[in-house]
Amino acid sequence: MSPKLLKLKAMLKKAAQELRSLKQDIKKKQKEGKSEAPKFQYQLFKDKRNFRYYHIAYCLLRGRAYEEIEKPREDNKPDMDFIRRICDEYKSEDVCACS
């Protein structure tokens, strides 16, 4: 695996841990009745969307077809332009190109 791809994989692992932590924090704040919970929920929404896009790009770079990665509803299609930009950023010569 190329160094760029390893870097992306490490970033995804760290992001997954941060998402789990953020979800726990939100639950805690909601139970305590704190008013900042909606702000954290919005942050969670954005982070989950970005994680999804980076995960799709990682899988595409490893040679998977998009249809193997996910089958979203018609109204939940990913931003393929953003995913292509991620692929271009992490692509190296010895890795399959994004579709």
Other beta carbons less than 10 A from residue 39's beta carbon? 12
pLDDT in tens, 43-74: 999 999 999 999 999 999 999 999 999 998 99
The pTM of the whole model exceeds 0.75: yes
Question: Crossing angle of helices 3-32/37-61, nearest 10°?
Answer: 160
pLDDT in tens, 28-38: 888 888 777 78
Other beta carbons less than 10 A from residue 83's beta carbon? 21
Q: Can you give the residue ranges of every domain in the chain?
A: 3-30+37-90
